[in-house]
Structures are given as C-alpha cells and as structure tokens.
Structure 1
C-alpha cells in the first residue's frame, strides 16, 4: 500500500533584522535545521542583512550625485539579497543540510516581472510555472531552496526589485506556487501589535487578524506588512508573524488570515435608504461627550454606516430601515443640552455606494474619476468618506443605479 503521508510544507522568510550579523544568521539557519529534521519541506526567503538596502541606496546616490537611473539602481540594490542568500545557504550547509540558492543570473530563476524598475509587478503565471518546475522538485531530493527576496527579473533578463516589502511578496508568491501549508515571517517583533511599540509603551500582541483589518493599519503609516505584498497572499495559506529572538519557528506570533480583493469593485451596500444626520455648532471637535452621546443615540435606534467630524459639524450616515422619529428626538435633545450645539438636520432617502480595492489612496485622481461623471450628469454627492481600501459615497436613492453605472464605466468595471 502506497504511503499517502504528505510532509508539511512551509515558506520561511527572514527579514533584515533577523539576519543583521553572523550570529543571527547562524541562529536563523539552526531554526530551519530543527524543523527540517522533523521531515518538513522548507523553502527559505531572505532579505538583505540588516540595513544593507538603505546603505546601498545612500552610497549609490551619493556616488552618482543623485543621478543614478532606476534600472541601474535595481541592479545595485539586488546585491544585498544576492549576498544574503549565499551566506544563508552556506550557514544551512554548516548544519549538515543540503541547500541550493537561486540567483537572477540562473536560467531557473522563478520570479519574473514587468519592467517597472524599483517597483516591479510579478507576472504570476510565469512565476508559478517556474516555481513548480524548478523549486518544487528539490523537496523530493531533500534540498532546501533558498530564495533572495525583493528581486525579480524581466523576460529579457533585466534585474528588477519589487518595492518596499518585496521580500514578503516573494514569500507569498513562492508559497502559492509550492502549495505551502503556511508562510512564516520572521521579524523583530512578537507579531502584529495593538500599537506601534516605537510610539506606545507595552503594546500587546494580536493573536489573529484578517488581511483587510491589517491593511487598514497602513492609514497610520505603520507598515507591518506592505499592502502590495498582501495582494499576493493566497486566501488558503495562513501567515504567521514571529520574532527572531527566540530562534524558534513554532512560537505563536500573529496568524494572518484571508485575502484582499484583487480588483476594484463598486456596489450599492445597503438595500435600504440611508439618512444623513447632522449636528451643527461651534468647536464640536473639542467636546467628545457630544460625539459619545451622538453615537450612543444612533446605536439605540439603527445602524451607523459612516461618520465624519470637523470643528463645527458632526455628520453620520445611518440605515433608514427603522423609524427615525425616536432617533431624531434623541439627537435634538443633545442639541438642547449642549450650548456648543446649535441645530440639527436630517436628509433622508440617500443611497450608500462603496468602491473598494487595494491601494486606492495610492491611485492618483481616483476621487476625480468617481465624482466627475456624477457632476456631468447632475448627480449630487451628499457625503464621501475614505479609508485605506474603500471609498464610501452617498447619493440620492433615486439616482443610485445611474450613479453606480457611471462610476463603473469611469473605472472600467462594466459587466462586474
């Protein structure tokens, strides 16, 4: 009877902090050796050691008086990972393991990209074909493949880099091509934290988080994992973020589940009309108790869909499926109880539209592409709210279908 046992397959990516010196490289290699001794199939992705990439950028730009072009700079920056992968492979061999590193000069190099130098985009079909053809067979030979992260190569052989967070991108693409059970990201943190430890004392580790929540942290400028990398995460493969300090790849860390939407989407979110409720006043932003009472009143009566606040106005968008009379009375009482609040207003029969996708805030002109066709067709926008991966739009309920079709047409989403 044939043995159907399939060894656990993992991709382990070591960040620069985990490889900052020879001692740390040895410790990382030892951790891999320990897991390999259990029969696991392990593929390794390495970043440049320590702050090598930053140092190479500075030296290259100073040497060239700031005139180094993107293609040349990619070739220079790749040297950080190309060196790191050789050192790490040698460290694995020192523990008695069979290992093979890949280099973009190899004909078997698997990460193929376009020619957007300094921020190249992987061509996934070509990457997966080469991963399965050249890397996957190494497991049967008990050879540990070691890949330099961050680096790509164009079809015609030019070296590219994948942008910041590119080593995570490499790990995610490799995991998908290998049909791995898990990706482990070895960093200088215990996992994803409740706050940036450089700003807040004693933040706590989050045991589990979904991708869409994680990408929202980028609003604060804190890049736990870069958004571009998360686009390549397979929804069926969990990611675990751990600290290199323990030298143990089995520590708990933070589990990241799910995926980001791959493309832009536009839809009507609420099947019911939406109401806009506004309090007008003076210095409302300095009175958190007013904001608290406002939210509490809404919570008692309906669903809060969105909210905005500036110095002199507090605006909420709420589901109108319930009778708003009791809510209106409660909000009016807030106005009467606080001298900073002057009056309130309600606009009914609005529609709640949402445009979502990865990196919207990094897409120049996206708001104009949404709003301009509405303006040209005399459709008023009664509210617009934005966050990292979505734009929330409020228009007249009667205009909802026409507005949605115009937005889809402008963004090239017809038929979706």
Structure 2
C-alpha cells in the first residue's frame, strides 16, 4: 500500500523526478519498506588507473561486487599523472595567457577519458555501465564559476545526483563519473582543485545515502608513521576525521582537507590498496565529519591556566613526567598546554584544579629548574574550528584583532588540527563568541569574493 500511495502523491511531477522523490521518502521511512541492495561509491585514484592492466584489475574489482548484487557508482581520476602533464603542457604552450575556464576544459579531458575507458571495461565483462560526461544533461556536480578551484553548490549538486543517477542504478546500470570535474549552472566546465575526485565521491555518497565510500589507492591504508622516515610502521584500522585532519596538517595529504569538508557524517570511508585486487580487503576506516565552514564554540565550563616558570623547562622531561603523573592520579583532563624555553602553561578545568595544585607544588619544590607556579582567574575556552582553517590565510591575526577591537584580552592561544583555541575572561565569554561569529561571517564573505575573482585559496 505504501508504494502506490507515494507514487500517487508525486503524480504531478515527471516520471524521473517522481521516482527520485518516492525513493527518497522510502529511504527516510527506512523500516517501512526497502528498495535495492547495498550501495557503494568507489573512487579509483590516478595511481590505480595508471595503465591498461591496472584499469582491467579495477574493473574486475567492481564486477565482483556487482555479481554479489551490490549497487555501485564508480568515480575515476585521470590516469596516472595525466593532470600534471596537461598542466605542464598548457603552461609551456601558453604560460599566463591561458584563461582559467579554458584550462579547466583541457584538464577535464583526463578524467573524462578515464571514465570512457572504465565504462567500456565494465561492459566487456558483461555489465551495463554508462560514463557520465559533463556535456550531457545527466551531469551531477554543479559548482560556482571559480575556475580551477570551484566550490560545489551543495543543494543543486545533491538534487542533480539523485535525479540523474538513481534511475540508472534502479535499471541495473553502473554510472562511471569523472571525478574532479564540475559544471556551472550555465553549462561551463570547472574543476574542483586538489582532492577533487574525493569531493565528487563524497557528494555522490551523500546524495544517494550510500552504505560506504571506498577510496582505492596505491597504499594499504593510513600508517602509524611515514614508512620513508620510520621502520616497522603499522596500518591504522580506524580514524576519526578530526584525527585525520591533524595528520593532513603535517603536510601528508591522505585525503585533501577541501574534500573532507564534504564527507557525510554517517557514511564511513575505507581506504584500500587497489593492488590487492579486492574491494573487501581490510584498509583504514575514516569515521565522522568536520565542520565544512569555520565555526566558534565555547567550552561548557570555566578553565584556569596554571603557569610555571623556571630555567630551561623545555629540557626538563622529568618535570613534565611528574606533572602528567599528578594529573593521571587525580583523573583530571588536560584541556591544552603550551611551552617555551623557560615556562609552561597547563589549561585545566576550574572545578578540578584545587585537587592537583598541592601535587604540582610538590613538583616545583623538588625541581631545581622550576621556580614557582601561578593560577589564572576563571577563563573561557573558545574554539574556532574548520577543515579549511589552515588554508585560509590570516585567520589567527584577524580573530585576534577582532577581539582586541572590543577590548577583549586573550589570555592564551594555541592551534592544532584545524582549530584555534583562545582563552578569554569567563565573564565576557558571550561577548567574545558573538565577536568571533561576526568575524567568521566576514571571512566567509571575503572568501566568496576571492572565488568570484577566480583566485585559488590554496
């Protein structure tokens, strides 16, 4: 009874749009009725498609899942280093004379060629497949006109993905989508910048409520350290997005920060090595999400800063160990810490600091390096977060100036994993938060202006 009723409610729409609406409602209803089998979005990176042999192996990996009844959307990067070579060729031939819109049209040919070859490979294995070209009406990713670093228009892209890809999947056709590419509302080809193919995969998974996103690469997953620097590294089984961003801030681009802005909250990402020849192989699972835009929030309770001064404290490893031991004994969370040559500051919950002060003072008396400690008044911890933070120039300076202009003193600051942590007077926390929110809004407007001028942010 449910399906005919929903179909009737959508009667005034065209057949394709009607299907999308009915499917979406059924997905929301969940337990009422279930359509289709498990759905995956699989992205193959350039190293996994570098030659014909690798493309054939990748197609067989997809074919194996299709035989199991899994529905897939395949996203492909350009083969090997094609994009870099195209860029070098354009630069060599035209230099600065090339218009960004023309460059994007040229660069798109790498992914578009990969999609054609991959869909043909799937057909040769006996499966129905269709490559989706940005010149077709079925194109799913809609962006602004910031050529060479375009930003997806989220609502338009999600709607276009559902409208164009769901009917193909329902008819047993596997869509093969070129990653990295977008198209403006008026039909001009754009590119999404570094990490663009991952962004494509994340958007498609979001729109289709996929069960999982698989990124097929040339590594077994994310390791405990860089194997070029450290011996005996191990694969990490699971990571949160926030932890991953901390690693990308070190310069290692497992998944580009821009792409992580679009990772859906409830859909896991698995990084696997395509050389293994099986999408079911173990890899690293990425969970959770991170704020797409900059945001500011206040820690729920007051904080104090315990400052210790002395001589060459940065060399006093025994002092550090003793202080951490005192915190562990009392079960107190360390909210943050900063250190220079002759001093260190520990930021602790205000309601717990008395429990540990005597222990800290014992460390001071025992050490010939520490002279004294002091405790600040009640402070508020305000955290400014965003996956794009480290790639937005001047944010720390802008935030500091905004607070200064309102007569708000900053009692401490440190940055980590795409976050800026600021400490201000507890009694003025609401005023400080409002100031930061207004500043963030202004930064967003400036970012949009830069995009309209086609100036990449990276």
TM-score, scaled to structure 2: 0.85
1:197 to 2:227 alignment: yes
How much has 1:244 moved relative to structure 2? 0.5
How much has 1:389 moved relative to structure 2? 2.5
Q: Which residue of structure 1 lines up, in the alignment, with residue 259 of structure 2?
A: 229
Q: Which residue of structure 1 lines up, in the alignment, with residue 415 of structure 2?
A: 386
1:409 to 2:438 alignment: yes
Structure 2: any 5+ residue segments left out of the alignment? Answer: 4-32, 443-458
Q: Contact 1:53 / 1:77 at 8 angstroms: preserved in 2?
A: yes
Q: Contact 2:295 / 2:440 at 8 angstroms: preserved in 1?
A: no
Match of 2:322 among 283, 293, 298: 293
Q: Which residue of structure 1 lines up, in the alignment, with residue 345 of structure 2?
A: 315
SS of equivalent residue, structure 1 residue 104: coil
Q: Deviations over 1:237-294 (max 9, x none)?
A: 22111110111011121222222123333222032x3221122233322232222222
Match of 2:185 among 130, 152, 155: 155
1:99 to 2:129 alignment: yes
- Indicate the structure with greater helix content: 2
How much has 1:66 moved relative to structure 2? 4.8
Q: Deviations over 1:48-95 (max 9, x none)?
A: 111111222222212223543322222221111111111111211221
SS of equivalent residue, structure 2 residue 111: helix
For 1:15-30, list aligned pairs within 5 A: 15-30=45-60
For 1:345-356, list aligned pairs within 5 A: 345-356=374-385
Q: Which residue of structure 2 lines up, in the alignment, with residue 65 of structure 1?
A: 95
Q: Which residue of structure 1 lines up, in the alignment, with residue 23 of structure 2?
A: none
- How many angstroms apart in 2 are the aligned matches of 1:289 and 1:60? 58
- How many angstroms apart in 2 are the aligned matches of 1:146 and 1:322? 56
Runs of 4+ in 1 over 6 A off after TM superposition: none
C-alpha root-mean-square deviation of aligned residues, in Å?
Answer: 2.1
- Segment drifting more, 17-26 vs 382-391: 382-391
- Segment drifting more, 217-226 vs 331-340: 331-340
How much has 1:199 moved relative to structure 2? 2.6
Structure-2 change in CA distance of 1:298 and 1:16 (3 Å): same
- Segment drifting more, 167-176 vs 257-266: 257-266
SS of equivalent residue, structure 1 residue 215: helix
How much has 1:11 moved relative to structure 2? 0.9
Q: Which residue of structure 1 lines up, in the alignment, with residue 275 of structure 2?
A: 245
Q: Contact 1:359 / 1:388 at 8 angstroms: preserved in 2?
A: no
- How many angstroms apart in 2 are the aligned matches of 1:30 and 1:20? 16
Q: Which residue of structure 2 lines up, in the alignment, with residue 303 of structure 1?
A: 333
- Segment drifting more, 65-74 vs 38-47: 65-74
Structure 1: any 5+ residue segments left out of the alignment? Answer: none
1:397 to 2:426 alignment: yes
1:90 to 2:123 alignment: no
Q: Contact 1:25 / 1:88 at 8 angstroms: preserved in 2?
A: yes
SS of equivalent residue, structure 1 residue 412: helix
Match of 1:113 among 136, 143, 160: 143
How much has 1:231 moved relative to structure 2? 1.6
Q: Which residue of structure 1 lines up, in the alignment, with residue 78 of structure 2?
A: 48
Q: Which residue of structure 1 lines up, in the alignment, with residue 390 of structure 2?
A: 361
Structure-2 change in CA distance of 1:312 and 1:223 (3 Å): same
Q: Which residue of structure 2 lines up, in the alignment, with residue 268 of structure 1?
A: 298
Match of 1:173 among 178, 203, 207: 203
Q: Contact 2:42 / 2:75 at 8 angstroms: preserved in 1?
A: yes
1:75 to 2:105 alignment: yes
Q: Which residue of structure 2 lines up, in the alignment, with residue 136 of structure 1?
A: 166
